[in-house]
Amino acid sequence: MASSQVETVSTNADKAKLGLVVVLVLASLVGFYLLGKQGQLAQWGALIVGLIAAVVVFVSSELGKQFVAFGRDSWREVQKVVWPARKEAIQMTIYVFVFVVVMALFLWLTDKTLEWVFYDLILGWKK
């Protein structure tokens, strides 16, 4: 019997950090709209400072650390990908377009043939 482990936010400190992140994001949005009369610099300053503070708090939490590690691992995997050369990419794109056109014609012909068989020959519903 295989046991699956589900990792969740377990400590109260991490829960508090994630709650603080939500509060900071909401506070920065509220500050942005409440500081409308103060000018755009104050608006955008409040928004950006609040969002940066939320990101800093999130990254310091366990979930944030796992997210950053996932991002690093993903970037490492993307760097391992062998991308096709331009010529090969163009050839494959042309193959796909040709296949789509051929399939569209095949399906159209099949549809029209079945329409002719059922409506004209079997039912006698001439247009």
- At 15-43, the pLDDT tens digits run 999 999 999 999 999 999 999 899 999 99
H helix runs in 1-127, sequence order: 12-34, 40-60, 62-80, 86-115
Domain boundaries, the chain: 12-81, 84-127
pLDDT, mean over the chain: 90
CA 101-82-64 angle, to 5 degrees, is: 105
Distance in angstroms (rounded) separating the CA atoms of residues 24 and 57: 9
**What's the rounded Cα separation, in Å, for the pair 14 and 33?**
29
Q: What is the pLDDT along the chain (127 residues), one digit of tens a residue?
A: 555 565 554 688 889 999 999 999 999 999 999 998 999 999 999 999 999 999 999 999 999 999 999 999 999 999 999 989 999 999 999 999 999 999 999 999 999 999 999 888 888 776 5
